[in-house]
Amino acid sequence: MDRPAVAAETGPGHQALRQAAAPGPGLIPARPGFFRHLAAACSASGRSLDRPLRWEAAITPSHPGVPQRLTFAVERLAIQPADRLLEIGCGRGLAVALACERLGEAGSILAIDRSAAMIEAARLRNRGHVASGKARFQAVSLADAAFAGARFDTVFAVNVNLFWIEAARALAIVRRILAPGGRLHLVYEPPSAAQLSAIVDKLTASLESNGFALQASEGKAGMPLIGVTARAVLSPEGVASHR
């Protein structure tokens, strides 16, 4: 089946993606083949990894200790004060802290991760936001999470390969919990910038075959980063949606 061209392929986002082929200053490369081998191991074992893959990365100068992939991810969300956010695979809660800086009193974020240790660290890091009710954490996988009818304006994940290893299941859940007009944002940082185009192609195929339409893909000059934004074009029941 012919796949529609990605709009960003001829725009500034694709130019940024091509520029990302040049290693940026301060970037510590990951072990060659790590991303590929880990994904293959998960696939072979029949297991998914729905929390972030972690490797050394450049640190954001304005947020010491925060990898640039996380600041890049949160900046792409264009968070509004009253947004309801969900992060899948939140790790130690670094992105949650960045998101909470942008949320107003009416906004909130729920963050999930299968690792209880990561959730404990995330709660500790964001204890002020937890106390105010702005941030909540659950040690649970996406498949096992009980959202109790909650709807989210934005669902995002960073370095989570669940969206191609168990794409149909994961994306069906995301379609169900997205509010009308809601968006899914995925960010990946492979060890090599040469992998970026392949990741976009794989994600696009996965999204389009599971009820989503790719809206944008954007890279970051000088770094092997790619961000993909998609919206649901099928309702949770599989009916065409115009939201």
> What percentage of residues in the chain have a pLDDT greater than 70?
70
Rounded Cα distance, 156 and 137, in Å: 15
Which residue's entry shows tokens 């670094």? 94
* pTM given for the model: 0.73
> What's the pLDDT at 122?
98
Q: Which residues pair with 218 in a beta bridge?
A: 227
Question: Does the structure show a pLDDT above 60 at 12?
Answer: no
Using the predicted structure, report yes or no on whether residue 32 has a pLDDT greater than 80: no
Distance of CA 195 to the CA centre of its chain: 17
Q: Evaluate if residue 51 carries a pLDDT over 50.
A: no
Helix residue spans in the chain (DSSP H): 12-19, 34-45, 68-76, 94-102, 116-125, 127-132, 162-165, 167-177, 196-208
Nearest-10 crossing angle of helices 167-177, 196-208: 70
The answer to whether residue 237 is domain-embedded is no
CATH number for position 101: 3.40.50.150
- How high does pLDDT run on average in the chain? 78
Q: Which is higher by pLDDT, 219 or 201?
A: 201
Return d(Cα 112, Cα 96) in angstroms, integer: 11
More confident residue, 148 or 126: 126
243 pLDDT more than 80: no
Q: Could you identify the residue written with the tokens 């997205």?
A: 178
pLDDT tier for residue 236 given thresholds of 50, 70 and 90: low
Q: Which tens digits make up the pLDDT trace of 59-95?
A: 444 455 788 899 999 999 999 999 999 999 999 999 9
DSSP 8-state symbol, 32: T
Q: What local confidence, expressed as pLDDT, does residue 240 receive?
A: 53
208 within domain boundaries: yes
Domain count for the chain? 1
**Residue 34 within a domain:** yes
Model pLDDT, residue 143: 95
Higher pLDDT among residues 162 and 116, named by residue: 116
Among the listed ranges 28-32, 84-88, 182-186, which one has the minimum average pLDDT value?
A: 28-32
Give how far the C-alpha of residue 138 lies from the chain's centroid of Cα atoms, to the nearest Å: 17
Range of the domain at 145: 7-232
Under a CB-based contact definition with an 8 Å cutoff, are residues 120 and 95 in contact?
Answer: no
| Assigned domain for 31 exists | yes
* pLDDT tens sequence across 114-124: 999 999 999 99
Gap between the Cα atoms of 56 and 54, Å rounded: 7
Pairing mode of beta strands 152-158, 178-188: parallel
pLDDT above 70 (res 37): no
> Is 239 inside a domain boundary?
no
Q: What is the CA radius of gyration of the chain?
A: 17
Report percent pLDDT > 90 for the chain. 54
pLDDT, mean of residues 93-118: 97
Question: What pLDDT band is residue 7 in, cutting at 50, 70 and 90?
Answer: very low
Cβ atoms within 10 Å of 181's Cβ, excluding its own:
9
**Residue 208: pLDDT band with limits 50, 70, 90:** very high
Residue 241 has pLDDT above 80, yes or no: no
